[in-house]
Amino acid sequence: MSPEKAAPIFNQQDSDRVIGGPTAGPVSGPGHADYGQYQLGEAPVGESQPGEELSYYAIDSITSISDLVQSQSLLQYQNSYITSLRIMHCENFSNINGIQIPMFQNLHELNLSSNQIEDISELNVLSHIKDLNLSCNKITKIQGLDNMLRSL
């Protein structure tokens, strides 16, 4: 069975009601926020801006963030202000390679819980993280996160 490419649209206020479903694929898509004058990477640090939330649940065909970007055609969001990324319960997801893609540089929330991740050192490229969930993974060593830890 191949993964679905559907990304349902929801309002950011509805995000707490998006739980997931019985089929693999995204459980949420871009919000309807007004991004104003800012482009990706231009919003002033510390200024609260509405952003897009991307959430994916139980996509067993992906092994990394790069795989997710390619399989779900996420490059269409490269000029969006993405503030939240959730990739959860993906049986083969073990590599965070791809988190350095510019579309993710303004993430405030990152939830990679219940995957197979062992190495988290690439997270150091994220400097705006306020909420990080890496629970239920295979992480044995935490190191090289100095840049990211300054924002937590």
Instruction: Note the pLDDT tens digit of each residue in 58-94.
Output: 999 999 999 999 998 888 888 788 999 999 999 999 9
The model carries a pTM of 0.68
- As given in the structure block, the two tokens for residue 34 are 């007004």
pLDDT digits (tens, 9 = 90+) for 28-68: 444 333 333 333 334 444 444 568 899 999 999 999 999 99
List, in sequence order, every residue forming a beta bridge with 36; answer none if it has no partner. Answer: none
E strand intervals along 93-140: 109-111, 131-133
User: Which strand (E) or helix (H) includes residue 69?
Assistant: helix 65-71
